[in-house]
Chain A
Amino acid sequence: GENVEQHPSTLSVQEGDSAVIKCTYSDSASNYFPWYKQELGKRPQLIIDIRSNVGEKKDQRIAVTLNKTAKHFSLHITETQPEDSAVYFCAASLYNFNKFYFGSGTKLNVKP
């Protein structure tokens, strides 16, 4: 099955700096890679996703890059704000997918 590894487990940045979270996956057949943000005590919510036919996707301050050859994908947050503080999860799934495989999460702390 798929194995998704996520790093770092915690990340602390100063407000206005950039943050990068990286994930690797093991199954080359995986073709959908969402990122979820979970605020304390709340449900995970999708913030951005990317499909395997695309190398990069941006949405305002958030971007995701995918390297299919190396089997890794990354979340980039620019101009971080205190409200970006949360736990972020990456995930991978196959086209005929029954399952999402999640990374272990990154706790991002943006210091004002």
Chain B
Amino acid sequence: EDQVTQSPEALRLQEGESSSLNCSYTVSGLRGLFWYRQDPGKGPEFLFTLYSAGEEKEKERLKATLTKKESFLHITAPKPEDSATYLCAVHRGNKLVFGAGTILRVKS
């Protein structure tokens, strides 16, 4: 059965303190791994798609990487506005299977 596990469940950082979020997955034949950002009371906002091991994508302070078993979302010098829940998902058929998310809080 396809599974997506995110860690940690919650992460508190000081402004400027870089860190990484983890998304491990078990799925046969990965068709795409997606990262989303979700603010409270809002729908998930698409960030990145990764398709193959070794692929990397960047957007502002965020960088997503992919291996055969996991993906990392690296946050460099975060700011308070980066506070949100970060979700990862894998594509299976025409469905996305989501992890439970990591709640990130960045304090100034």
Question: Do A and B associate with each other?
Answer: no
Binding site for B on A (CB under 8 A): none
Residues of B within 8 A of A (CB): none
